[in-house]
Amino acid sequence: MKLVWILFLSFVKTSAIAQSFQVRDFLISFSHGYPYLPASYDIDYEEAIWNFKTTTGPFFAKVEYGVNQHWGIGGNFAYQQNETTWETPEGDFFKQEQSGSFNLRFNYHFQSATALDPYLGFGMGLRFIKAYKFYTYNSGDIYESSNTSNYSPFGFEATLGLRYSIKRVGIFLEMGIAKSPVQLGLTFRLNRRVSHMEDKE
């Protein structure tokens, strides 16, 4: 077991690019969130005979530019959609909910001499929540509505992340306050020069 640990540390060191995050690094990241957190529900599950839910996302797309060796600035776009169909003794019900957000984001990178990049991120921006409802009652009445929610249009996020990179591609995990508490995704580094050591790999 000790030998495996030594080999792993050696691999991490040889995969490093001098520093985990550098000035003028330009990063593009894509991730998926877990679990899905809908903005609201108005379903009484105790009365529901059955219900069926489908979800899309949440998906995240981020960009970041290295201002210095510790700070990066960029943006984060997030989107999610939820559809729910349920039946009660009163009738059949359908609800679709879409939400998205765009935040100006700042990341603080703690720096590491290995391929590991621990960082703290926070951002603020705007968000929207749109809901569509279609209810069919057994009495024959139909209720339909489409509206933008009255929730606050301002969004906030704060996450702690860890990225592992080899050459220009990395995998990262983030946890914290966001559209989902856990994110897992890939990062692509567009403009950093690959070192001579990496060219030999």
- 47-70 pLDDT, tens digit each: 666 677 778 889 999 999 999 989
Question: Rg (Cα) of the chain, in Å, rounded?
Answer: 22
- What's 2-199's CATH class? mainly beta
Q: What is the pLDDT of residue 47?
A: 65
Q: What is the pLDDT of residue 197?
A: 39
- Spatial separation of the C-alpha atoms in residues 26 and 192, rounded to whole Å: 8
Tokens 């606050």 identify what position?
152
pTM of the model: 0.74
Q: What is the pLDDT of residue 75?
A: 96
Closest CA to 191 of 48, 64, 1: 64
Mean pLDDT of the chain: 80
- Domain segments of the chain: what residues? 2-199
Maximum Cα–Cα distance for the chain, whole Å?
75
**pLDDT higher than threshold 80 for residue 17:** no
pLDDT tier at 28, thresholds 50, 70, 90: very high
pLDDT tier at 29, thresholds 50, 70, 90: very high
Q: Which residue has the higher pLDDT, 161 or 56?
A: 161
What lies within 8 Å, CB to CB, of 93 at 6+ separation is 43, 85, 86, 87, 133, 134, 135, 136
**pLDDT higher than threshold 50 for residue 151:** yes
**pLDDT higher than threshold 70 for residue 22:** yes
Strongest mean pLDDT among 55-59, 73-77, 125-129:
73-77
- The proportion of the chain whose per-residue pLDDT surpasses 70, expressed as a percent, equals 76
pLDDT tier at 148, thresholds 50, 70, 90: confident
Q: Which residue has the higher pLDDT, 167 or 48?
A: 167
Closest CA to 15 of 199, 184, 166: 166
